[in-house]
Amino acid sequence: MRNFIVLAASLSCLPVLAADPAPLDAKYLRTHAETRGFMLGRPTRPKPTLDGKAVLFLRAQPRKAKLALFEFDVASGKTRELLTPEQVLKGAEEKLTPEEKARRERMRVGVGGFTDYQLSTDGRLILLSLSGKLYVVTRGKDEVRELKTGDGTLLDPKFSPDGKWVSYVRDNDVYVYDLATDKEKRVTTGGTAQKTHGLAEFVAQEEMDRSTGYWWSPDSQDIAYEEADADGVEVWHVADPSKPEQPGQPSFYPRPGKKNVSVRVGIVPIAGGKTKWIDWDAKKYPYLTQVHWDKQGPLTITAQTRDQKELALFVVEWMTGKTRRLVVDKDPAWVNLHQDVPQWTNKGFLWTTESAGGPQLEHRDPDGKLERVVLKPDTGFAGLVPYDSDRGRIAYRQRLAPTRVAVRVISLDPKENEQIFFGVDDSVNTVVLNPALSVLTSTTPTQMPRSFVVHYDDRGRGTSAGELPSVAEEPGFTPRVEFVTVGDKPMFHAAIVRPRDFDEKKKYPVIVDVYGGPGHQTVMASMRNWLLPQFLADQGFIVVGIDNRGTPARGRDWERAIYQKFGSVPLDDQVAGLQALGKKVPQMDLERVGIVGWSFGGYMAALAVMKRPDIFKAGVAGAPVTDWYDYDTHYTERYLGVPKDKDDPAYKEASLLTYAKDLKRPLLLMHGTADDNVYFRHTLKLADALFREGKDFEVLPLSGLTHMVPDPVVMERLWTRVAGYFQKHLGKPVAR
């Protein structure tokens, strides 16, 4: 009875809604979609040459999602185009195999052309892949030659450390290509679709941030590679219902509590010979999370228990394959992965742990013994930045606040105080470094990303060498975003986006733009993050974003507060943060609140309207996980535990199916039918549950699309639909 009274009271406060909202002006959306959020045309993947004379980078045209290769000359400040996809393909269309499409999906690559490239250590050669073929460019001469590889899908190409070989995976085995003789050589044998050699398995690519499955020795004589055996793992198929004449694409997809891929690592000489298999306790540590084989240190592997509560670093005696454990890290909830460590020095290695309450950088001796703490959690340490320096320096990301990130270079010698700082106030910064030359990419709430070249002398003093040129279109407006902190125990970082024609004498319906899940922050000081929220706000709303417990950058306890509580803590925090914002901003009408999100944010949006209809009056859920038994092992078991059966209470509490009977508010579900991350099955299962409960809802299938939505037409139509949906169900601003 109490719930009914609350619902009736809430409904009585709503103004009369527009049955047919006025048509939206989609001109901005069209431009936003065609420019990929005004990011096309900006330099990407910059790589300074070791001699400090040039910077290579990729760049597209403002409305053409194909990347070409460019070179910035430091001395002259001029940029020239080195190679375009059109020059290589000579008018032909780029073709991608299903394997390459899947790999790009895992890496969140939504553009074409040269999506990546490799630069040899001496900076003389550039390795590119395009349309299933490999090309090597000789700098200075601008010679382009196609490698005469065999037929098949080529994945993960790399230079050897000495630059004399190119390696890649073809048809599930590792190959090397001798650049001097133009001959290809097979390094591993017996690879199949079920038992691959040299490829990272699905959960490694999707959840561990490990995209490779093989590693060169520093002397370029051997390769360590992963064998991933999917025997017994469930096979799921991704098929496009609109094209029934095409067969579905099979994928090994491990689900919680079920069989995982079995992994082992071997070492094989490229000159030929048998594989030497590395011996570690794979029964206890079945997840291979990282392999490092650096010039300054030995071969190491990092492995994790199935429940992810324990992580171990092993050093490998590569002549015998035996291992010795150097470090063990434990946590009662889960241990986060840090792919940037170990980083070896001339006196041991750097290691990251959160055992002190947050990310802490440690220096350990070659046997794993702690020498000293280099950076404590209260310094804002947020991970190492690759930096090849022989002067005893390291580079790391530093959080000046949860919304801002800078980069510092410091000495490992505690007696030396000299340091280099990259970044400005209220900004998010990334840096690509080498000892002589660096590229700083910076964005603020009022500035789209810009990339600056900085030259350093022997004493570490930096001078500007210019800016990598952008040809991108600019949005034409600055988002009206305000960053605030609200609440007390817990305190939340939040953002408020007001309409550009905001009238403080009116009350506005509110849209919560939510993610709320692990590993991602919504509230960041980055202009591009607030362009679409500004479009929504301009349609007559106040849009807010709130980072709840479980999101990163607030310490170990903050992040792990969601352990086995997906269905409660994140949503409770969104409600608490929203209500605190309402007290701060009287123009927010908390009787008319909608919520929109994608992926975990889609899950949160659907959960919100079903579980808290007293707060949320309409929801739009994009690609939501609806039943966590149907998501992958490594992500789900990390946060919900390894389920013992189909009635695990943590999984039941987190499942949207549990709350289908409670839906009282308008809900729009959107999902790509070819999604191979959050399968379309999720939306179908929730739709079936809602239908059987007699609930009203809407489903928008995105035909043939995956978890990403790069199609400009679809993006334009999708956000038009979202804005119109909230106008219909939340109404317009009214006088206070």
Q: Mind telling me the catalytic residues?
A: 599, 675, 707
CA 326 to chain centre: 29
Identity at 515, one-letter amino acid code: Y
553's tokens: 């950058």
Burial (Cβ within 10 Å: 0-12, 13-18, ≥19) of residue 277: exposed
Query: Is residue 7 helix, strand or coil?
Result: helix
d(CA 72, CA 75): 9
State the residue for tokens 């070819």. Answer: 674
Which residue type does 399 have? R
CB atoms within 10 A of CB 736: 12
> Tokens standing for 614?
């007293």
**Residue that the structure tokens 């291992």 belong to:** 323
Query: Would you put residue 426 in left (φ > 0), alpha (ψ -120 to 50) or beta?
Result: left
The β-bridge partners of 293 are 299
What DSSP string describes 668-724? Answer: EEEEETT-TTTTTHHHHHHHHHHHHTT---EEEEETT--SS---HHHHHHHHHHHHH
Burial 601-628 (b: 16+ CB within 10 A, else e): bbbbbbbbbbbbbebbbbbbbbbbbbbb
3-state secondary structure (DSSP) of residue 207: helix
Gap between the Cα atoms of 49 and 19, Å rounded: 60
Q: Which residues pair with 398 in a beta bridge?
A: 381, 406
How far is Cα 109 from Cα 97, in angstroms, rounded to an integer? 15
The total of other beta-carbon atoms located within 10 Å of residue 10's CB is 17
Coil, strand, or helix at residue 129? strand
Instruction: Quote the CA–CA distance of 73 and 71 in Å, as a whole number.
Output: 6
Distance CA 353, CA 365 (A): 15
**Cα torsion angle, 461, 463, 469, 470, sign:** positive
H-helix or E-strand containing 534?
Answer: helix 531-538
Return the structure tokens found at 551. Answer: 């999101």
Select from 314, 253, 315, 254 the least CA-distant residue to 284: 314
Contact predicate 357/331, CB 8 Å: no
Strand partners, 44: 58
* Whole-angstrom distance, CA of residue 405 vs CA of residue 444: 10
Dihedral sign computed on CA atoms, order 328, 329, 334, 335 = negative
Tokens, residue 128: 């590119």
Q: Are 532 and 32 in contact (CB under 8 A)?
A: yes
